[in-house]
Each structure stands twice: as structure tokens, then as C-alpha cells.
A and B are shown apart, each in its own frame.
Chain A
Amino acid sequence: QKEVEQDPGPLSVPEGAIVSLNCTYSNSAFQYFMWYRQYSRKGPELLMYTYSSGNKEDGRFTAQVDKSSKYISLFIRDSQPSDSATYLCAMSAGSNYQLIWGAGTKLIIKP
């Protein structure tokens, strides 16, 4: 079993829908949680960064961490075709530890 599990999708939703992307993990030492977005043939770019538990909001994006359930989520409101990309979760136990990556979920927003 991998340390970080992420459904590869693809997840296809109509424009305007609320999207929920999720990762589960097994290492309770993880404290830092990130979401990266990767467009086709591009490098990943940092989208959201959360330390420990709780929610963080940035525009249409909300990152949620539930450490008790070892579950993190990324919500996208009012989804746009330009949100079509692969979303990767990543997490670590701290600055001296390696980032552990999910496999990425391919998201398709249909106009």
C-alpha cells in the first residue's frame, strides 16, 4: 500500500460544478499538505499549501485537511474549462523529510 493514495481518474464534470478532489494517507507524522496543478506537458505548480489541520481558501479553491481521518481534499467552486489539469497532492512530515506525492487526478471540465 502506498503512503499516499489518490484516484487517478479521469474525473469529468460540467462547467460550473463544484469539484472535490481527495487524497488519503497512512503516515500520521505528515504535517504539511500541498496541492499542485499540472497542465498537459507542463511542470507541476503549487496551488495550495496547508500546515496541520483545517481549511484554507484562495479564490475558488479550498483546501481541507482532516488529520484524524488522514484525509485531505481540494474543492473547486464554479469550475472552468481552464481548470482542466492533473491535480497532485503532496505531503511531508517536515522540512527535513521528503515530499510524498500522490499519483495525481486528471480533471476534465466540460464546457
Chain B
Amino acid sequence: DARVTQTPRHKVTEMGQEVTMRCQPILGHNTVFWYRQTMMQGLELLAYFRNRAPLDDSGMPKDRFSAEMPDATLATLKIQPSEPRDSAVYFCASGLVNRETQYFGPGTRLLVL
């Protein structure tokens, strides 16, 4: 049963610390998405990769967030330095070329104190 995996599932950290979230997309999928979900804003797209190349990161605060795909089996999202307003659930999703069908991971629940 192929699925997207994310680590860690939960992260509690203090303001100013670096946070790294990892995602393993479904084997064979060539698109990867990072989303942030909060009660107030709902699902927000942070970054989008196709064939490991970043195509859209317009939703990501550039001064503190960065997203990379060092290889086809790993996507990372980093926050440095973290702030309390970054507290949210971060989802990774993967899919094939078309954007419409995306398969989500279980999410990383981040709390920044």
C-alpha cells in the first residue's frame, strides 16, 4: 500500500530554533507539494516541485522557509528561525504530472513556543 510518509509526526520547539521536516513521496510520483494547514487559513500551498525542480514557492515566506528535494525519494522543508506563528500542521503531498490528484501524508504537527 503505497503512501506518503512524513517525519517527524510531532515537533515541539522553542522560538528561534531550526525545524526540519521530511517527506518521502510515493515511488514513481514526480510532483511534490508542501502545504500548511491552520484553523484560520485552511490549507495553504507553500511549495511545489516537479521532477525535483521547484516550480512554485510563492506561498512560502522566503526569509525563514526553504524547501528542497535532494533526491526523488526525499523532500525537506526547513524553518529557520522558527516563530510561534509557524505553529500549524504541515502536509506533504505527491502526485503525477497533473496537479489535480494529490496524495497526502499524515502531516507534521508543529508547535513553536
Contact = CB atoms under 8 A, between A and B. Distances in A.
Interface residues of B, number: 20
B20 interface: no
B102 interface: yes
B43 A98 contact: no
Interface stretch (B68-76, B80-88, B103-111): B103-111
B95 to A, nearest CB: 9
Contacts of B109: 41
Which range holds the interface residue count of chain A? 20 to 34
Given A42-B107, A45-B104, A49-B101, 14 more contacts: A32-B100, A34-B101, A41-B107, A41-B109, A43-B91, A43-B105, A43-B106, A43-B107, A46-B102, A92-B99, A95-B98, A95-B99, A96-B99, A98-B48
Interface of B: 4, 42-43, 45, 48, 56, 91, 93, 97-107, 109
